[in-house]
Amino acid sequence: MLMVYLEVLDTPEEKVRFEELYRKYRGAMFRAASRVLRNDQDAEDAVHNAFLRIIKTFSRFQNTPVKDLAPLVVVIARNEAVSLLRKRRDAAPLEDWNAFAETAESVSDYHALVETFARLPLLYRAALEMKLAGYSDGEIASKLCLTKTAVSTRLSRGRRFLRNIVEQEGFWMDA
């Protein structure tokens, strides 16, 4: 992976400096991310994201000796781990969608179910459609000019609203 990072940097001096930083702090960054995530694969993702963040602003690190960068790079890795943890937590409430999808497949009149989704108030439907399309809460917030809290609220209320409609229509089957 180091070679990929080095290809992004412009000068040989930056490459040497980054390689030194990578070799010296990768382990500490991984341990910090692992303590937050408690999963090696997720910790690797967080460290990768941290190195990408470091590369984007690498010029800011130019005047700081590598030996003094430990607190900074470890905090960046920890923050990336926390971000991944938040994304995982934000995505967790969608576990209901698995049951919903299975229900949708078993319903003989699938079009009626789609029409039911279309009956949701636009306020909730827009956020739910974007979430189902794979957008993160932050991306939805940005596109709808809302806060992440408002997006979470709309997603939660929209799912509840949809669940109520589906239950009243007789589509919902508890697994």
Predicted confidence (pLDDT) per residue in 102-159, tens digit: 544 444 445 565 667 777 888 888 888 788 778 889 988 988 888 999 999 999 998 8
Helix ranges, 92-147 (H): 96-106, 110-118, 122-132, 137-144
Instruction: Find out if CATH 3.30.70.600 is the number for domain 107-169.
Output: no
Task: Indicate the helix (H) or strand (E) that contains 174.
Answer: none
pLDDT tens digit sequence for 71-84? 888 888 888 888 88
> What is the pLDDT at residue 147?
93
> What is the pLDDT at residue 92?
45
> What is the pLDDT at residue 37?
86
Say which amino acid occupies 14: E
> Are 17 and 62 in contact, with CB atoms under 8 Å apart?
yes
58 CB-side CA count, 13 A: 19
Count CB atoms within 10 A of the CB of residue 129: 15
- Fold for 2-91, please state it: Rna Polymerase Sigma Factor; Chain: A (1.10.1740)
Task: Provide the residue ranges of all domains of the chain, joining segments of one domain with +.
Answer: 2-91, 107-169
> Are 115 and 162 in contact, with CB atoms under 8 Å apart?
no
Whether the model clears a pTM of 0.85, i.e. scores above it, the answer is: no
